[in-house]
Amino acid sequence: MLRNLLVAVVLLIALSFYSCKKDCPHPQPDGHTQVDTGYVQTTPWPKWVFQHWIWEGEGTTQSARQLADDYLANGIPVGAIIIDSPWETDYNTFEWDSTRYPGVQGMIDYFHNKDIKVLCWITGGIDTNLHPLWDYGRDHDYFMKENASSGPGIVKWWKPTRCSLIDWYNPDAVAWWKSLMDKTLAYGIDGWKCDGSDFSLYDLQNFKSYFYSPYLQGNIPSRNDYSEKYYRLFYDYSRQKLGNDRIIMCRPIDNYGYPFTGSTVAFGPRDISWSNWVGDQDATFDGMKAALNNMYESDAYGYFSFGSDIGGYRTDNGYANGRSKELFIRWAQLGAFCGLMENGGGGEHRPWMFDAETNEIYKNLTVMRHKYLVGYLMESLKNSVVQNTALMKFFNKADYSYLLGDDIFVAPILSSSSTVTVNLPAGNNWVYLFDKSQVYEGGQSISKTYPINEFPVFLKQGTHTEEVMKAN
């Protein structure tokens, strides 16, 4: 506890200085998703950002293909797969590890033939053990520093690795980085999972920060300005090379449990962040509430669309699968009604590995999302951008209830107790999604026990959304 408080205080001190009008594809009886070849993107975001995403922490060509095929075989549609760390030979060569991922182009083509998009995990630095790559960056002054007379900043970011962060202010460094990106973009990937290496400008373990840009010959304007350049480079350059349906996945507000919010813990730029995720949470109901807290703060800050790792990321909780069946289902139900629905992390995340009931519930959620919600979310995000509001508009931190768009009200189940008091918004009647004969007047509180295959989701009566969802 003391260490956590100390880190939080140090961080605070450091900071003080420094359209989818077409129907979305319908899952076919064999579980595969029909390719919608007639779709024309009319928004800055493609519709696949709202489809169901999957990933595994450390995989291979075989395991990635098997993972997607198993989801499809179990009747669960898949819109995208994230090839997470470590797909590269090292951080960050942008070269595929051929021992883990032989036949990369064939793997990516395999996914694309199933209408599954492919994203690669990445950060914004180079490990110090990468020779001669790191040496080249050092010799050309391409890394951020502590001050003018210091060498490249060397930070411990993740695992045992130590890296140096790119000076995004230097156009030559950016051009060099783009030449590295080209090696991966040449395979025709669809986006990047840009992890939060930008926060490594703060070396909290050593009470240092690396705000000095050799190119500017002085400190950069702010950490947020540095982050903006990192994420925007991946977004803009990937679209320049491959088209406007390429995206980045990044964090919105993510405070890792520390008592900070706002710009202090904001990551990606709001105007290009269509697929944000908050992480990395424990696989517990407290972990779910931590994710919801970051989503609440992301709404308050002005991010448009976000979600979390279904079931949590970390697994040190004593369960054989890394999480309980009940938690996994309740988190999946939440994920189905977030801006981003993605499933992956440590431990077991495959729904059929829990039991048949879990798989059936998960399948129904993802089929419903692909069939009914993707189009709704596409239209709702257009409205959100115009109104400068989030897709998930929260009411409070007491129950983390929220409106998804304007017509869907969600009250997450925050504990192993399935009895929830729902406080319906006033001014409209609300139709219970899982039993549409139940209609409630707005402004009232209702207490209800929800069986494992139901979830507190209510549709605004008299709307097009209610009419569409009646078919579900």
User: Percentage of the chain surpassing pLDDT 90?
Assistant: 83
Task: Give the range of the structural domain holding residue 148, as residue numbers without chain letter.
Answer: 19-390
Identify whether 335 is part of a domain.
yes
- Residue 34 predicted with pLDDT over 70: no
Could you tell me if residue 175 is inside a domain? yes
User: Residue 466 domain-assigned?
Assistant: no
Express each pLDDT in 101-157 by its tens digit: 999 999 999 999 999 999 999 999 999 999 999 999 999 999 999 999 999 999 987
- pLDDT at position 402 over 80: yes
Residue 76 counted as domain residue: yes
Task: Determine the pLDDT at residue 388.
Answer: 95
> Is 178 contained in some domain?
yes
- As given in the structure block, the two tokens for residue 293 are 């807290």
Task: Report d(CA 11, CA 81) in Å as an integer.
Answer: 34
Tokens coding 99:
């021992």
Q: How many domains does the chain have?
A: 1
Q: Which of 318-322, 340-344, 348-352 has the lowest mean pLDDT?
A: 318-322
Peptide bond into 412 cis (omega under 30): no
**SS3 call for 133:** helix
pLDDT greater than 70 at residue 333: yes
Query: Which 3 state secondary structure label does DSSP give 171?
Result: helix
Q: What pTM value is reported for the model?
A: 0.91
DSSP 181-211: HHHHHTTT--EEEE-SGGGGGEETTTTEE--
Closest to 313 measured CA to CA, from 96, 82, 55, 90: 55
- Per-residue pLDDT, 259: 85
> Which contiguous run of DSSP H or E holds residue 107?
helix 104-113
Q: Which amino acid is at 113?
A: N
Asked if residues 394 and 299 have their Cβ atoms less than 8 Å apart, the reply is yes
Nearest to 255 by CA among 234, 231, 279: 279
The CATH number covering residue 236 comes to 3.20.20.80
How many residues are listed for the chain in this entry?
472
Backbone torsions φ then ψ of 12, nearest 5 degrees? -65, -40
b/e code 321-344 from CB counts within 10 Å (16+ = b): bbbbbbbbbbbbbbbbbbbbbbbb
Provide the pLDDT for residue 37. 53
Over the stretch 166-218, which tens digit does the pLDDT of each residue have? 999 999 999 999 999 999 999 999 999 999 999 999 987 788 999 999 999 99
Bond into 92 cis (ω within 30): yes
Is residue 18 very low, low, confident or very high in pLDDT (cuts 50, 70, 90)?
very low
Q: Is 472 exposed, middle or buried (0-12, 13-18, 19+ CB in 10 A)?
A: middle
pLDDT digits (tens, 9 = 90+) for 280-317: 999 999 999 999 999 999 999 999 999 999 999 988 66
pLDDT value at position 278? 96
Summarised one tens digit per residue, pLDDT across range 252-282 is: 999 987 888 999 999 999 999 899 999 899 9
Across the chain, what does the average pLDDT equal? 91
Q: What does DSSP say about strands 439-441 and 429-432: parallel, antiparallel, or unpaired? A: antiparallel
